[in-house]
Structure 1
Amino acid sequence: MTRTAREISVYGYYHVVQKGCGGQLIFEDADDRIYLIRLLASKCRKYDVNIIAWCLMDNHIHLLLDDEHVHLSDCMHSVTTAYAMYFNAKTGRKGPVFQDRFKSVPILNDDQLLNCVRYIHDNPAKARIGTASLYRWSSFSEYMGYPGICMTECVLGLLGDSQRFFAFSTSGEPNRYCFRDGAHVSDIDALEFAQALLKPYEPHHLKDLPKAVRDNYIRTLKNEGFSIKQIVRLTGIGHCTIQKVKLDQ
């Protein structure tokens, strides 16, 4: 199968996601996570890639990387190869640890950059395993002054300081940014993304709006990659009604 070329960011920033093969766990304990963090630090230093944010989940990792010198693919290949060798040797398992090559989304402006950082740190809360500020395995604490592997200057420069970063990250406002692998919006991101798109309305308010207004909001969701089934679940509006709303040409 022919691989599609990666979309390039003229600014050099990328949101990178690497998943475990078949959704399997890629960490068994804290030592595994520490090993990967050290790998990320050493390999990114070797390939001149700067780490802006990171979060380690049970079966995937999120990274925001600054790839000014276009070494991202070599860097990620080196990280995943080294970690797979370590993990297989430790556990006695065989075969690939990671699923295919990594996915990446180019970051194109400052607003997207800030909301990507927030999105990455919010992953534990979405998975209901911890809040952004208390989760151990992310770069959130680095932005609050603890030493780590990130270059925090860019984000803190945009926001002002650590306290403003904390306020921005914990505001509770719905985040319009989500990781998009193609046009589809994942179920885990659908509600918050919809809330951001439909503000000041909640998704379930749409069924009570005048038809023209309602249809315009449905069109917005469809244009942003929401499936008909997702819109039905979010809004309570019938399948046939949503299907009849045409996309923008």
Structure 2
Amino acid sequence: MTRVARALSELGHYHVMLKGCAGQLIFEDDDDRLYFLNLLNRRFTSAHIRLLAWCLMDNHVHLLFDDLDNQMSVAMHAIDTAYAKHFNQKTGRRGPVFQERFKSVIISDDKQLLRCVRYIHDNPAKAGISSAPLYRWSSFHEYFSHPEICDCEGILNLFGGTEAFYLSSTDGKPNPYFMPEGKHISDMDALEVARALLAPHEPYQLKTLPKSERNRLLAVLRHRGFTIDQISRLTGIGTNIIQRAK
């Protein structure tokens, strides 16, 4: 099947996720993580790509970068190939380490950009591993010290400085940004995105609202990419009612 060419961002900003094949681990230890970061830095520097945020998880990686020269695909292929060679030689396994095609989201404006930065840094907390300030393997700490591989200045200026960045990152407010699973929202992101879209209501409160308001908000969730089953699990409302809501 012929692949559809990736859409290009007018601003040059992209959020990319690399996942291990079949959900497998892509890092055995911290040496692997350091190898990946050094490789990422070298390849992005040579391709004139500015890295803005990153987070390494056990079986996936999130990256946010500025690629005005449209070198993303070439750079990501080089990183994929080089890291697979390293990882396979070390572990004795064969084949690709990452899923064949990485996911990418175009970042269209500054508001989406800042929400994406927070989303990336929040990944360890969502996984129940660590809060963003305490997690070693993300760019969060680069925003409070001398940057190592990230270009932090532009993001900090948009937030309004280091203090504003920290407060916005740790205020506990739900973030409406998400990484799509095909056309839909992943279960991991569903609750937080729903809370952001429905505020000041919590998802479970929809069934207590007047019918017209309830149906309007159900339609908002469906339009944003929630499946009917996801909405039913979050709200406790029956699937037939959700399907008819307009």
- TM tier, smaller: over 0.9
CA deviation digits over 1:138-182, x for unaligned, max 9?
Answer: 000001124310000110011121111100101111101111243
- Show structure 1 runs of 4+ deviating over 4 A: none
Alignment of 1:114-125 (within 5 A): 114-125=114-125
Give 2:11's aligned amino acid: Y
Report the residue type matching 1:145 in the other structure.
S
Indicate the residue corresponding to 2:160 in structure 1: 160
1:77 lines up with 2:77 in the alignment: yes
Residue 196 (structure 1) aligned with residue 196 (structure 2): yes
Q: Is the 8 A contact 1:14 1:105 kept in 2?
A: yes
**SS at 1:104 equivalent:** strand
Cα root mean square deviation, aligned: 0.9
Describe the SS at the equivalent of 1:54: strand
Instruction: Report what 1:13 is aligned to.
Output: 13
Secondary structure in 2 matching 1:122: helix
The residue that corresponds to 2:53 in the other structure is 53
- The amino acid across from 2:185 in the alignment is V
How many Å separate the matches in 1 of 2:153 and 2:218? 39
The residue number in structure 1 matching 2:142 is 142
The amino acid that maps onto 1:159 is: F
Structure 1 contact 55–137 (Cα < 8 Å) conserved: yes
CA distance in 1, matches of 2:214, 2:181: 27
- Match of 2:182? 182
User: What residue in structure 2 maps to residue 108 of structure 1?
Assistant: 108
Count of residues in correspondence between the two structures: 246
Which sections of structure 1, spanning at least 5 residues, go unmatched? none
**SS across alignment from 1:63:** strand
> Partner residue of 2:24?
24
1:239 aligns with 2:235: no
CA distance in structure 1 between the aligned counterparts of 2:130 and 2:180, rounded to whole angstroms: 23
**Where does residue 68 of structure 2 map in the other structure?**
68
Q: Percent identity?
A: 57
CA–CA distance in 2 between the matches of 1:68 and 1:118? 22
TM-score calculated relative to the size of structure 2: 0.98
SS in structure 2 opposite 1:133? Answer: helix
What is the Cα deviation at residue 3 of structure 1?
Answer: 1.3
C-alpha distance in 2, partners of 1:181/1:12?
22
Distance 2:7 2:191 in 1: 26
Q: Please, which runs of 5 or more residues in structure 2 have no aligned partner?
A: none
